[in-house]
Copies of this chain bind each other. A is one copy, B any other.
Amino acid sequence: MKKEISNPTMKDVAKEAGVALGTVSKVVNGLPVGDSYRIRVEEAIQKLNYQVNSYAQGLRASKSHTAVLLIPNTEEPFYASLAYHINLALLKQNYHMLLCSTDYDSNAEQEYITMARQHKVDGIIGLTYNPDLVIHENIPFVSIDRCIGSHVPCVSCDNFAGGQLAAEKLADLGCKNVAFLRKGSSISNEPNKRKAGFENGCLARGLQYETKIMGDDEPYEAFEQFLESHIVDGRLSFDGIFCVTDGLAYFVLKMLRKLNQRVPEDVQVIGFDGIHFFRDIDYVCSTIVQPIPDIAKMCVRLLLDETMQEKSSLICLPVTYAYGGTTLKG
């Protein structure tokens, strides 16, 4: 009666094959076994449709071949792409990935870390916002876009260089008076360096610039008022805008259209992230491209490769500029 519902175990296989339990285990794990035995065991496995129980394996090995990904959601394109590439990189190493959408909730972030410990996962990759996040020392953690502590490696793109690059591009393309737009996250994280890099680049190239930083809770529409207030005689006083993300650039482009400003003739726009919808080869806008597949691979490597554990605590991967129709063609 019982066996009807429960799956076959190694014991069942052993009985079926007429060998001992240990022999089956060896066959399953590819350890040397006499050929005649191996064949009988393999036949029994086929016949019973046996599958190892990874919970028993995990219990014994106290290793689960599983990692947790902490990420706000998979709806915003940058997160979605990151989740995809991390998932692939982990699967390639035969690791499974537990997805935990945190929705920017600090409590959720902390709870999922507790959950991860209970699940005895081998590591956590987290793009988190909780400023007080407690990370247990005995579970490997790789942070994305935010430095958490010296014992937690952080991976991000080179945000500062990205900001510089945006300024240089705008300068190269003839801009004289530019703006930096960003929605402010109160927490200190790596993407914040985009502003500093941009300012640095503007200064180096003698570009006039103005920055506008909105609060987290202010609506995107507030940017519209800002832009509107800089229109004199129907003409925007900026000839270039650097938006902290492609998402913001998407909004800004819509607003500029509404304000009858031509892009890129009147004003050029550069975003950040390198988003393209529907896996299109076209970008949403001209943009500073994050190397998302490389970031993903680096996170996984850092997490799983013991020898990398002691390495530098912040790894910045190079960014590139991509033309996306909202700047003049170089």
Residues on A lying within 8 angstroms of B by beta carbon are: 5-7, 51-56, 58-59, 62, 64, 66, 69, 73-77, 80-81, 83-84, 87-88, 91, 96-101, 103, 114-115, 117-120, 138, 246-247, 250-251, 254, 277-280, 282, 284
Assuming the contacts A118-B53, A118-B54, A277-B77, asked whether A84 and B101 have C-beta atoms less than 8 A apart, the reply is: yes
A98-B99, A247-B277, A250-B278 are known; give 12 further A-B pairs, CB within 8 A.
Answer: A5-B138, A51-B117, A54-B119, A55-B62, A55-B64, A55-B119, A74-B74, A74-B81, A76-B279, A77-B77, A83-B83, A96-B115
Please state if B6 and A62 are interface contacts (CB–CB under 8 Å): yes
A-B pairs, 4 with minimum CB distance: A247-B278, A55-B58, A80-B80, A99-B99
Assuming the contacts A56-B59, A119-B96, asked whether A84 and B74 have C-beta atoms less than 8 A apart, the reply is: yes
12 example contacts (A-B, Cβ-Cβ < 8 A) are as follows A6-B62, A7-B117, A53-B59, A53-B120, A54-B118, A69-B99, A73-B84, A74-B83, A76-B278, A77-B77, A87-B99, A87-B101
Identical copies in the complex: 2
A66 vs B5: C-alpha distance in the bound complex, in angstroms? 19
Assuming the contacts A96-B98, A101-B84, asked whether A51 and B118 have C-beta atoms less than 8 A apart, the reply is: yes
- The interface residues of chain B lying within 8 Å CB-to-CB of A84 are 73-75, 101
A62 vs B74: C-alpha distance in the bound complex, in angstroms? 30
- The interface residues of chain B lying within 8 Å CB-to-CB of A100 are 87, 91
A75 vs B85: C-alpha distance in the bound complex, in angstroms? 9
Q: Which of A7, A58, A88, A96 has the most CB of B within 10 A?
A: A96
- The interface residues of chain B lying within 8 Å CB-to-CB of A279 are 75-76
Please state if A99 and B97 are interface contacts (CB–CB under 8 Å): yes
A96 vs B120: C-alpha distance in the bound complex, in angstroms? 13
- The interface residues of chain B lying within 8 Å CB-to-CB of A7 are 117, 138
